[in-house]
Structure 1
Amino acid sequence: MKKLLIAAATAATYLTGPAVAAPLCDDLGFAGLLAACNRGDTIEITLASGQPLHETGSVNLQSGAYYTLEITADGSAELAITGSDFFRAIWMNEIVINKIEVRPMAIDSLEFDDAGVATLSFIAIKPGSHTLRIPGSTGETQQVTFNIQ
């Protein structure tokens, strides 16, 4: 009886298979997940005093896909953006600031003292809802929620 139960469980696993998120393209080639066909649209966030971070407030991402997040500060105030839960849910490829590429192991926040642009490239990994926000703010428009599916 025990062997029959084990065989049934094994067959059920093969028939249904594990839930796997498909990449954006079928043939990733030598570049793997960083392949051009696996790239989602660029996400733009604006840091400006009294302005919303993102036009819709939420962004849907696909697990396993490669994205670019462009954060632009207008210099109207010294502002930061934080979101350790978001940064732990992605694999960070690099952060580019003034044509300097940084390849971090981990990140908690970015702070802009003046106007400038930081470009983050990453692969979405952990499904769920993750938030980037201006520290100390409580308004809905001062945060962006990333829904990784």
Structure 2
Amino acid sequence: MKFPLLAAAFSLLALPAAAHDFGFAGVLSNTNKGEMPGILLSVGQPLTDGPIALKSGMVYELEIEADGSGELALEGSGFFRAIWVNEVVVNGLEIRPFGLESVEFDEAGTMEIEFLAIKPGRYFLRIPGSTGESQRVEISIQ
């Protein structure tokens, strides 16, 4: 009785490649993407217009743009530990890191971070060493 069942299971693996072409499902599907505002890194300018609210289980793309007015970074280890980073895109190059602690811009440019929001809570991203509220963005994952 076990062998016919095992043979049937293995026969499913022998289907043509087109039969297995299901595309993305679940958390990486196009129906699971949320929108979020970008962040601008510029000396003396606010990072965003206000706090950012995300939903756990949704995929987002964070676009960070630096205008080159200074060597600026963003840190937020709590936030980066509450998400799963799918990819970081810099100048068309895709990087698939295990995790992030911070990012830094030495000159003008754009970086896109595609991630899955996982752990609900309140987090922040900020310019290291800054104390002003405009140099910090609050991010909540619900």
Q: 2:41 aligns with which of 47, 50, 64?
A: 47
Which amino acid is 1:112 matched to? F
Could you tell me whether the CA contact under 8 Å between 1:43 and 1:68 is conserved in 2? no
Q: Which residue of 2 is the match for residue 68 of structure 1?
A: 61
* Aligned residue pairs, count: 120
Give the TM-score taking structure 1 as reference length: 0.78
Partner Cα separation in structure 2 for residue 42 and residue 100 of structure 1: 22
Q: 1:96 aligns with which of 66, 89, 101?
A: 89
Q: 2:122 aligns with which of 123, 129, 132?
A: 129
- How much has 1:81 moved relative to structure 2? 0.5
Give the ranges of 4+ consecutive aligned residues of structure 1 lying more than 4 Å apart after TM superposition. none
Give the TM-score taking structure 2 as reference length: 0.82
Instruction: Say which SS state the counterpart of residue 25 (structure 2) adopts.
Output: helix
Partner Cα separation in structure 2 for residue 36 and residue 147 of structure 1: 22
- How much has 1:32 moved relative to structure 2? 1.6
Which amino acid is 1:55 matched to? D
Partner Cα separation in structure 2 for residue 115 and residue 96 of structure 1: 15
Partner Cα separation in structure 2 for residue 120 and residue 129 of structure 1: 19
Q: Which residue of 1 is the match for residue 30 of structure 2?
A: 36
- How much has 1:62 moved relative to structure 2? 0.3
Unaligned runs of 5+ in 2: 1-22
- How much has 1:51 moved relative to structure 2? 0.1
Which amino acid is 1:45 matched to? I
Q: Which residue of 2 is the match for residue 144 of structure 1?
A: 137
Q: Which residue of 1 is the match for residue 19 of structure 2?
A: none
* 92-101 or 33-42: bigger deviation: 33-42
Partner Cα separation in structure 1 for residue 37 and residue 58 of structure 2: 13
Could you tell me whether the CA contact under 8 Å between 2:36 and 2:52 is conserved in 1? no
